[in-house]
Amino acid sequence: MKPIQFVVFVAAFLLISCEKEETIVPTHQYNERTSSDLPLGPVSAIVIQNSLGPVIIDGGSDTSGVRWFLDKGILAEPPSAASQVCSQILVGLETINDTAYVSVHAPSTTASYSSLLSLTLPDNIPCVLRKISGTRDVSYLRSSFVGENVGASTILGRQGNCTRTGTNGDASVEIAIPDGGLRLVGFTTGNLTLRIPAATSSMLSAETGNGTIFYSALVITDSVRTQKSFTGKL
């Protein structure tokens, strides 16, 4: 009887072990939106940074500070862990000299998370986008705008200087060029769509490393064209 009891015991132990190994802890998707206002002192530029996801910027002529919304998405095992990570993804403002830095901060964790940052900014303060992951939508800013190494982006209703550089992604740029104004859009890969008022008088240069340049209803004289670029006078 003893050998038989021993064999039964071992079989039961192996069965329990296999059942434990097959146990899967389900992940939980947690979504949350937070919002607030950030007061601005006298600054000469605003730098926006969000390495966790896209950014949407809207210029507001009656805005004296920064109004923000942050849509957060967390994928973690227990709901309590997702909620804890979500509470630690924050929007912060730091002013160094005459520049305000608005950034999204996140904890160091194994959980998967992302965020969409939406901002309403004073339209008369120059704006810089830096370290952004995902798309960028910028609307109705009258001050200078710089997008540093950005990907796919849409720029609408621009009335100030604009510089946008990147390595890949499509760009749609709608601009009204002021006297003496500058527009520079450059990438390595992607398509470029230009929508410029027909009455605009300026020099125009467009180039893409691996993409196509689209425009319509524009009369361009003294043009020099290649497969991926052209320059001329509007």
The per-residue b/e assignment along 12-28, b for 16 or more CB within 10 angstroms, e otherwise, is eeeeeeeeeeeeeeebb
Residue 159: which pLDDT band, with cuts at 50, 70 and 90? Answer: low
* Span 89-101, pLDDT tens digits: 999 999 999 999 9
Determine contact, residues 164/150, Cβ cutoff 8 Å: yes
- The Cα 180–Cα 170 span in angstroms is 27
Residue 2 lies in a domain: no
Whether residue 166 is found in the same domain as residue 106: no
Q: Indicate the burial class of 96 (C-beta count within 10 angstroms; 0-12, 13-18, 19 or more).
A: exposed
Task: Tell me: do 183 and 130 sit in the same domain.
Answer: no
Residue at 13 is within a domain:
no
Show the domain range for 52: 25-138
Residue range 119-139, pLDDT digits in tens? 999 888 888 988 888 788 888
How many alpha carbons lie under 13 Å from residue 101 in its C-beta half-sphere?
11
Query: CB-side exposure of 59: number of CA atoms within 13 Å?
Result: 21
Residue 16 lies inside a defined structural domain of this protein: no
